[in-house]
Amino acid sequence: MSGNRDFNNPGNSGRTEPKLGNLDQLHGPQPPAEPDDGLPRIQVEPAYRRGEPNGRDPYRKRHRWILPTLIVVLLAAVGGLWFNQTRLRSLVPRTDFDDVLHRAQVALQAGHLDGTDGTSARELFEAARALEPDNDAARQGLNEVGRAEVARADAAVHAGNLLEATQALTNARELLGGGSDVDRLAQAIAKAQVSSGQTDTLIAQAQQALSQNKLDGPDGAAALYQRVLSAEPDNAVARHGMDQVGDAMAAQIQKALSANDVANASAGIDRLAAVLPNYAQLPNLRASLSALQTQANSALNDAINQGNDALRGGRIAGDGNDTALAHFKAALAIDPNNAQAKVGLGQVAQALTVQANAAIDAGDTEHAKQLIDQAETLAPGSADLIAARARLAQAPATQPAETQPPAATENTATATDKTPTVRKQEQEQDTTPPPQPALTGQQQVQVADMVSRARQAAARGDIMSPPGDCAYDLYRGALAIDGNNPEALSGLQSLPGQVQQQFNQALRAGNLKKAGSLLDALDNLEPGDAALSISRQRLAYAWIDQAEQQFDSGDRNNAASSLEQGRNLLPNDPRVRELVARMQAGR
C-alpha cells in the first residue's frame, strides 16, 4: 500500500490512510452501477455448488444415461435399415417399371382388363412382372384383374350373355388359378347353358375333344363334361364321358409305365388325380409307379456309381460300355434331369479337356482336336474347353515327340556317346514349337480393349448375354486373336467363380428369376462342378417356399407358376409332390 500524509491539515491525526485508486478503471470504462434500492445484497452461487461439497454436478449425474441411450437407439436404427435394405430399395423410383405399373392401374380402373394390343391391364401388369418378377405390386395387380374378371363374368351371367361370361371366367381361372368364386361361376354358367338348351352343344364339344385326345385343361373333354355335370349331376352321357376320359388317361399312364418312363407316368397320374380323384384304377397305377421308381432308382444309382468309379480309374471315354461316358449316359437315359449324371458328364468333358491340353503341349494337335471335339458335344460352353480350343488354334501342326524320326545326320554311335543332359536338351529343342508371329499393334490394342470390356461386363453381371457384348463372348473374341493371352485365359476361367457369387447374391435378395439364369450360365461354364447340385437345390427350395406362401395367401395362379419352376429343378423332390397334392386337393 501507499498513501500521502498532509501535514497542513489540522484535522489530521497523523494517520496515513491507504489508497489504491479507482479499481473500476483497471479494465476500461465500466457500465454504470445499478441504483441502490436499499435492500441487502444477496450473492447467488452456481447451482452445482449448492449441496455438493466436492463440486460435483448433479445435473450431469442425473442425465448420465442420455449418451448410452442415444448410442443404443442409433445402433438399432442402423440395424433396422440394414435388415430392411431390400424393402427400402423397392421405394427408390424406377422409371420404366413405375410407368408400366401406372398405366396398368389406369387400364384396370377403366375396365380395360384383357386384350392383345399391349394396352390392357393384364398385359401391362404382366409386363411389369417381367421387369421385376418378384414385385408384390405387379402380382397384386394381376390378382385384382382376376377379381375384376370374376365380377365381369358374374354380371354377364345375370345379363344372359353366356359367351362373355365364359370368356371372363376363363381369364379369371388363368389369373387366380381357381377358388370358390370361380367354381361358383362355373356352375352358374353350366346351369344357364343347360337351361338355354346348350347341353347337347357342350357334350358334342367334349366328345370332339376326347376324339382328339385333348383330355384335360380348360377346353379339354374333362372340363366340358364337368360343366354339364355341374348343372345336371345325373346326366348319363356326361358321366360316361368322364369315365372315358379316365380310361384314356389311364392308358397313357400305362404306356409310360411299360416304357419305364417314370417322369411321364408320374405327371400323368398327377393329371388324372386332378380330374378324377376317385378313379378306380388310380391306386393300382400309383403302386405300379412306385415299383418302377424303386427299380429305376436302383439302376440309376448303379450307373452313377459305376461312372464315378470309371472316372477314378481313368476310363474316361472310348469303346465299350465300361467307361465313365457310357455309364453317365445310361443314367441320363433313366432320368434325363438327374443332376448327378449331368455333373458326371461335365467331369468327363473336363477330363477330356485336360487330355487335350496335354496333347497340345506334346505337339499332337490332331489328337488334341479330336479330344476337344468330343468334349464339346458334352459341354460346349465350358470355359476350360474354350481356352483349350483357343490354344489349339495357336499351336503349330506337329507330331508328338515320340513319333518323330531321329535326325539323319546323327549316327547311332554319336548319339550314344552324348551325355543324358545333351540328349535331353536336343529333344527339347526338337519338340519346341516355333515361335508364333507377334501381334500387330492394332491387334494388341483390340485384345486389350476386349479384355477390359469383358471385365466390365462380368462386374455388371452380363456373363452369357447379351450376345457379343457379354464377358464370355468378349473373352472368346480376345482369345480368337491371341490364344495364349494370359489375361483373357484367366478372365475366362474365373467367370464360374464370379457367377457363383452373383447367384448367391440374387438368391439372398429373392430375385429367383435372375438366380435361375445365373445357374444356367454356371451349368454351361463349369458343368463338372459338384457344387452345382447344391445350388440347384437351394434355388428349387426357394421357388417352392414362394409357391407355398402364394398358395396360402390365395394366389393360386402364381403359386402354380412358382411350383413349376421348382419342379423343373427337382422333379422328384418330396416337397414338390407334397405341394402338388395340396394344390390338387384345394387346401
The string of pLDDT tens digits covering residues 349-358 is 888 888 888 8
Share of the chain above pLDDT 90, in %: 4
Asked if residue 472 lies in contact with residue 440, where contact means CB atoms within 8 angstroms, the answer is: no
Look at residue 77 in the predicted model and tell me its pLDDT: 60
CB atoms within 10 A of CB 194: 18
Q: What is the pLDDT of residue 251?
A: 92
For the stretch 143-168, pLDDT in tens is: 888 889 889 888 887 887 777 888 88
What phi and psi values does residue 378 have, to the nearest 5 degrees? Answer: -95, -40
- What is the identity of the amino acid at 515? A
Q: Kindly tell me if the per-residue pLDDT of 188 is higher than 60.
A: yes
Render pLDDT for 365-395 as a digit per residue (tens, 0 to 9).
888 888 888 888 887 777 787 788 877 877 7
pLDDT tier, 31 (very low <50, low <70, confident <90, very high otherwise)? low
Comparing C-alpha atoms, which of 22, 528, 150 is closest to residue 324?
A: 528
Q: Is the pLDDT of residue 316 over 80?
A: yes
Return the CATH class of domain 94-197: mainly alpha
User: Is the pLDDT higher at 407 or at 33?
Assistant: 33
Residue pLDDT, tens place only, 94-118: 557 788 888 888 988 888 888 877 8
Contact criterion met (CB below 8 Å) for 289 and 265:
yes
The confidence score (pLDDT) of residue 229 equals: 81
pLDDT of 520 over the 70 cut: yes
Answer whether residue 440 shows pLDDT above 80: yes
pLDDT value for 36: 55
Q: Give the HSE-up count for residue 420: Cα atoms under 13 Å, Cβ half-sphere.
A: 0
Residue 15 DSSP code: P
pTM of the predicted structure, to 2 decimals: 0.48
Taking the alpha carbons at both ends of the chain, their separation in whole angstroms is 107
Helix (H) or strand (E) holding 143: helix 136-159
How far is the C-alpha of 344 from the C-alpha of 527, rounded, in Å?
Answer: 8
- Binned at pLDDT 50, 70 and 90, residue 42 comes out as low
**Range 238-256 average pLDDT:** 91
Beta bridge partners of 398: 364
Q: In this predicted model, what pLDDT tens digit does every residue of 539-569 receive, in sequence order?
A: 999 999 988 888 887 777 678 888 888 888 8
Does residue 89 register a pLDDT over 50? no
Beta bridge partners of 364: 398
Q: Where are the domains of the chain?
A: 94-197, 198-280, 316-401+439-585
State the Cα–Cα distance between residues 404 and 399, nearest whole angstrom. 7
pLDDT in tens, 58-74: 545 555 666 666 666 66
